[in-house]
Chains A and B, each alone.
Chain A
């Protein structure tokens, strides 16, 4: 613990004042419910992000998320037990607040797009788009480091699945709870 604190102090001293750029990593759990099908998926998720802005004001965040699906909703092949990896790229606007307590709550809104691997006769991947809103709080460790807890809600719309003479579009509501760590410089 002492080593960690010394490391944080060392890094903190590198950046003099008013850090606005930050990088972060989060680990979370997502739960997805489809609105036009009786289907549900739950899985772990990872997110890497880069942002610019102040903790107590506005910031813009770009993030790349990854999840390994454990549900088999789209894949029809008997060779797989679940749908495949899903990658997403998101952009969010974050508004932070300072209520003069130890944590800094924030809200966020944004949109994103991604792609999920599937094993179907006519498609091996499905793209999706999503609008998201979220809320959470930062736990500042010092000027350059903070912990983050955030809950996102995403309205997701998948690429239509091809049935030759017709196409079906699936939509879902997706909730993600992330725990993360940010470094600011």
Chain B
């Protein structure tokens, strides 16, 4: 028992001798800040995804990549969204802030999406219909940047008078048909532009009209004048006919119209690609 008591007292003495010191400088590192590793960015609406990273800085001066651990958000996700550091344009133009959050820490950056204003199409042989041809496309943007390669966010559709074999944002491999065809560029779920890809119609010719023959149907033959000096050719377009109060088109097909003149002067209008951005009017007036 004496041994036990002595051992206990010895241990207690040693314990107290060792006591009294307290660490006063924090040993465990802590987070100082969470930051995005990029300043504000500007991207074309046809750019692919852009990647940024988020870093945490610590009280011991260390720095760690925390991209996968923080919450990513966009103040206007209809313009651009962000997910785990990947920023994607969702609209043709606009501005938003990409925000990272983790507990009380936050950082943000501005993202500007530059609007695509028009598309440049390379020229193809409109008489060559037996195999696919490549159309190379590039974009012109609202900040006056021109001929910019488009990487993403635009897809291509044809109107049925041609066949797209394969495509990406900067190239379309297409077989054109005999009929005038349209190529549609689709961005973010809406048609951005249409582009006629067969030979271009320059004007329409009409057979003779007797302007003094009023209130009787006259058959008037129509012809197309196309690029490459192809004149008086059979029209390959579907045409919407409209007229003024001084005449009436009673009937129409691809080669002729039945016109009844009530009075002169009178004007009729032929519209190709009606209802599309490629719509084009050809007016004809008889005095």
What residues of chain A have their CB less than 8 Å away from a CB belonging to chain B? 29, 31, 34, 37-43, 70-76, 81-82, 99, 101, 103, 105, 120-122, 135-137, 149, 151, 161, 163-166, 168, 170, 175, 177
Contacts and interface: CB of A to CB of B under 8 A. Distances in A.
Contact of B65 (A73, A137, A165): A165
Contacts of B26: 72-76
A165 B56 contact: yes
B3 to A, nearest CB: 11
7 contacts: A72-B24, A121-B30, A122-B31, A137-B4, A164-B70, A165-B68, A177-B12
Contacts of A40: 21-23
A31 B30 contact: no
Contacts of A103: 1, 5
A34 B27 contact: yes
Contacts of B58: 163
Nearest to B59: A76
B23 to A, nearest CB: 4
B29 A163 contact: yes
Given A101-B1, A121-B103, A165-B65, A41 B15 contact: no
Contacts of B8: 135-137, 149, 151
Contacts of B30: 76, 120-122, 161, 163
B31 A163 contact: yes
B190 interface: no
Q: Among A34, A73, A74, A137, which residue has the most Cβ atoms of chain B within 10 A?
A: A73
Nearest to A118: B28
Contacts of A151: 8, 11-12, 15
Contacts of B16: 29, 177
B18 interface: yes
A71 B102 CA distance: 28
Contacts of A135: 8
A42 B15 contact: no
Given A121-B105, A163-B58, A73 B34 contact: no
Nearest to B102: A164
4 closest Cβ contacts across the A-B interface? A76-B30, A71-B22, A39-B23, A39-B27
A50 B70 CA distance: 46
Interface string B55-96: 010110000111011100000000000000000000000000
A164 B55 CA distance: 10
Nearest to A149: B8
B19 interface: yes
Contact of B19 (A34, A42, A81, A121): A42
Q: Among B16, B20, B27, B59, which residue has the most Cβ atoms of chain A within 10 A?
A: B27
B25 interface: yes
A161 B64 CA distance: 15
A177 B15 contact: yes
Given A39-B23, A122-B103, 10 more contacts: A34-B27, A72-B25, A74-B26, A74-B28, A101-B1, A103-B5, A137-B5, A163-B64, A164-B102, A168-B29
